[in-house]
Amino acid sequence: MTFPAQLRKITIVSLTALAFAGMVAYMPSAAIAKEKPLAGILQPGTPVSFADLVEQVSPAVVSINVTIKKPLPAQSMGNFDELPDGLREWLERQMPGFGQPDGPRMREGRGLGSGFLISTDGYVVTNHHVVNNATEIKVRFQDSREFDAKLIGSDQRTDLAVLKIESDEKFPHVKFADDVKVRVGDWVVAVGNPFGLGGTATAGIVSATGREIGNSAYNFIQLDASINQGNSGGPTFDLYGNVIGVNSQILSPSGGNIGIGFAIPAKLASKITTELIEKGEVVRGWLGVSVQRVDEDMAASQGLERPYGALVADVVEDSPAEAAGFKDGDIILKLDGTDIEDQRDLTRRVGDLFVGHKAKFTILRNGMQKTLRVKIGKRDEAKLSASGVDTVRDKADEFGMVLAPLDEEGRDALGISDKRGVRIVRVKPDSKAYRKGIRSGYAILSANNMDVFSPEDFTKAIEKARKKKQKAVRILVRNPRGQSYTALRLDDMN
């Protein structure tokens, strides 16, 4: 019996499928009892489409259009009085006021960003850098409605800002996730205004959590959903329509998306925006120290079993830390009985304390633990650096230096007010000191917790550390930008 070619093809395919099904049906159970696959199939709850989610949240996502005025550089017009009379009179007729002194000229610019509403009465969350220095702010919805908005409050450290739409209308809104338990690999959807293209939705996964960027004291969520210029301030949603992050930064050599974007976590964003709405500003606790990382060498030099805590490189004058007796060289180990993991951890936790809180710090000084009690002050963002508790430093130096006495001229150049210090005359090329960034012209102020006044003092400090069988010695280095500690491993010296 023969079949048409098309029928023969269908029959073969069908029989093959039946044969395979039969094999599975009679396969021993031990052979098919495999572990649950981690990818490659649709798990319960996995979306086939994000359309319903985007349709639900998009009405609450807006475009932020700002007008910014910046001063133009002053331009010299020369001496107007030296012009010939005829030319001067003609210029005065053509341009009244020409040649007369006036105030600085301003240049008007425009900026674009994204935002989202968190209440029916028109509170909008966006980025600080989107609205910074704005003289006019307009909020535009996807249905082309546009409203004026005013700035309620802005926080540079977290790059968050809150706007208020000037209207009595009731608006659609979204909410922050109550309890963010984001895992690497979770689906996310970002909605915003990339390159001015409002209402754009992109999907991806969480690439990393707790990501540290630069000197920021706060961690970010890393995303691979497409985020580009103009997405700043827009929301990232989970599959339930809750905001898990506020898009803030991208990593890109060209300014376009390469799959690495960063969002401010919802827990932090919710806390900051609530405070901005209630107070118009974020009030943070202030200790008044400049801190740096405790690395393995530094920990070894101080007898710590593991690197943890924050090393005090400098104490701010007239600060709560100075009043409490903090000194440069102290290692802050605990705050109110809980370990300090690193300088970022200290920064976050001090900032979260309310002004006037009487905090208890456990410090390590000269090999001995000590408790200092501090009345936390208020941080003045206008006067202090936006990174770290005051300044977070992270430097390391090694041997390979030629030292000499430090004269008054060198002291003045480095801003050293006392008589301490030896000058670093030369750093050998490709030495450990050079590779770590130390350069000629810097000064060493102390070594092994001993003040250094001469190269001989430095040598004695090293010898003393060796006699104690220390693995490393700690030194305080001064450069034109300030001072910081580092540890030199003694077992690595030639």
Residues marked as catalytic: 129, 159, 232
Distance CA(190)–CA(246), nearest Å, equals 9
Q: How many other C-beta atoms are found inside a 10 Å radius of the C-beta of residue 185?
A: 10
Q: Pick the closest to residue 214 from 344, 326, 105 (CA basis).
A: 344
Torsion sign across C-alpha atoms 425, 426, 432, 438? positive
Q: Pick the closest to residue 398 from 423, 422, 424, 434 (CA basis).
A: 434
Burial level of 56, CB count in 10 A (0-12/13-18/19+)? middle
Question: Per-residue b/e over 311-344, b at no fewer than 16 CB within 10 Å?
Answer: bbbbbbeebbbbebebebbbbbbbbeeeebebbb
Q: Pick the closest to residue 302 from 370, 364, 395, 346 (CA basis).
A: 364
**Residue spans of beta strands (DSSP E) within 173-304:** 187-192, 200-211, 220-223, 235-237, 243-250, 261-265, 285-286, 289-293
**Cα 267 to Cα 126, 129, 242, 245, 273, distances in angstroms:** 15, 20, 12, 8, 10
423's enclosing H/E stretch is strand 422-427
Distance CA(199)–CA(113), nearest Å, equals 12
Distance CA(146)–CA(73), nearest Å, equals 34
Instruction: State the greatest distance between any 2 C-alpha atoms of the chain, in Å, as a whole number.
Output: 115
